[in-house]
Amino acid sequence: MKPKVLLDKVGLWSATVVASTALILGVAPMTAKAINVPTAVTEDGKNTYKKYCSPCHGEEGKGDGPLARSMLPKPRDFTRGAYKFRTTPSGSLPTDEDIFRTISYGVPNSTMIPWDILTEQQRASIIPVLKSFSEAFEVRKPEPPVNVGLEIRPSEKSLAEGKKIYEEKLECWKCHGVEGRGDGPSAAEQEDDFGFPIKPFDFTTGKFKGGNSDRDVYLRFTTGLNGTPMPSFAKELTDEQRWCLTHYVMSLIKPEETCK
Ligand code: HEC
Ligand code: HEC
């Protein structure tokens, strides 16, 4: 079987670390690393999943491992193929890169840690195992990632435009609260597709589950979080308006609260 080469787009941090180490060592900086995702489930992948992931996600990926019982948010149930953190449009399956990114980055504000004790190859080997839990991956392919346009520079004008979108045009505050504390009037009644209560994200904490870059935030409200009440706002905004909204959301972070 031919392994598929996956470009590691996990985040600028790894590229930056590589680039700065390279500068110190005086070697040419590397821009992207290639890792191999096996095209089918391997023994290695199965064993790694069983040892490190099944205590929470369950032997068959139903999110019902022995540690899951009293946990909230619950470990993901992989059987529906509903993944929150994607570069692909609302309702689509995630790409292998998306899954690799979550395994490596973890999910802040939950028990899902960044799995950096595993090698990149081990992390990649788990991807086919996760996909094998859901028939969705047999019958569908992930749609191509959404196009993230060129970022504009934040300015008073862009922030004011973002605020207008947040407060008037798309009414994000109804769930996330006017100050972004996740305490809007509709916040208390939110449930995910599995019937568990779910809180709209508190932007003031700054610890975004799907990643902290402007690009991550742009992607979250553009693609929506599958399996949750967080909708996709893919059609309502121009690219420039998306950056205005992104910068406004980032401006709601309260630095004194992120240090706690
Ligand atoms: C201690 C419990 C725990 C362990 C162990 C654990 N996870 Fe998770 N995982 C979670 C929780 C909780 C979530 C849901 C977080 C949320 O949605 O807020 C999650 C979510 C995920 C997601 C969902 C991503 C998405 O886009 O929806 C993936 C993929 C994942 N875990 C992979 C793994 C893999 C692979 C391992 C083993 C290397 C692993 N997890 C081990 C608790 C765990
Ligand atoms: C119907 C309620 C609802 C509305 C309206 C809503 N959200 Fe959300 N949003 C949620 C919930 C619930 C979550 C948390 C999902 C989770 O924790 O898995 C969320 C998560 C997010 C995240 C992800 C944060 C992270 O952890 O990575 C971003 C970004 C976001 N919302 C932005 C917005 C923006 C911008 C708007 C308006 C355009 C908006 N939301 C409107 C319910 C809502």
- Residue owning the nearest CA to atom 12 of ligand 2: 200
Query: Are 216 and 210 a contacting pair, CB within 8 Å?
Result: yes
Give me the mean pLDDT over the 168-183 stretch: 98
Give me the mean pLDDT over the 197-206 stretch: 96
Band of the pLDDT at 258, cuts 50, 70, 90?
low
Determine the distance separating the centroid of ligand 1 and the alpha carbon of 110, expressed in angstroms.
9
Q: Is the pLDDT of residue 77 over 60?
A: yes
Give me the mean pLDDT over the 114-121 stretch: 97
**Rg (alpha carbons) of the chain, rounded to whole number:** 19
Q: What is the pLDDT of residues 134-163, one digit of tens each?
A: 999 999 999 999 999 999 999 999 999 999
- Residue owning the nearest CA to atom 5 of ligand 2: 172
Q: What is the pLDDT of residue 51?
A: 98
- C-alpha torsion angle, residues 36, 101, 55, 189 (rounded to 10): -150
181 lines ligand 1 (CB under 6 A): no
- Residues linked to residue 35 through DSSP beta bridges, in sequence order: 6
Q: What is the pLDDT of residues 14-65, one digit of tens each?
A: 444 444 444 444 443 333 456 789 999 999 999 999 999 999 999 999 999 9
186 lines ligand 2 (CB under 6 A): yes
So where are the chain's domains? Answer: 37-139, 156-258
Q: What is the pLDDT of residue 33?
A: 54
| pTM over 0.95, yes/no | no
Q: Which of 10, 37, 57, 59 to mutate to test the pocket of ligand 1 (most atoms within 8 A of CB)?
A: 57
Please provide the average confidence, as pLDDT, over all residues in the chain.
Answer: 89
203 lines ligand 2 (CB under 6 A): no
Q: What is the pLDDT of residues 231-245, one digit of tens each?
A: 999 999 999 999 999
Range with lowest mean pLDDT among 20-24, 126-130, 176-180: 20-24
Q: Do domains 37-139 and 156-258 have the same CATH topology?
A: yes
Q: What is the pLDDT of residue 52?
A: 98
208 lines ligand 2 (CB under 6 A): yes
Q: Is the pLDDT of residue 230 over 50?
A: yes
Q: What is the pLDDT of residue 257?
A: 60
Instruction: Region of 14 please: left (phi>0), alpha (psi -120 to 50) or beta.
Output: alpha
The count of other CB atoms within 10 Å of the CB of residue 17 is 10
- Residue owning the nearest CA to atom 40 of ligand 1: 53
In CATH terms, is domain 156-258 a member of 1.10.760.10?
A: yes
The count of other CB atoms within 10 Å of the CB of residue 181 is 18
Per cent of the chain over pLDDT 90 is 83
Superfamily grouping for domain 37-139: Cytochrome c-like domain (1.10.760.10)
Q: In 94-213, which ranges are continuous DSSP H helix? A: 96-105, 120-132, 136-139, 156-164, 173-176
Q: Is the pLDDT of residue 167 over 60?
A: yes
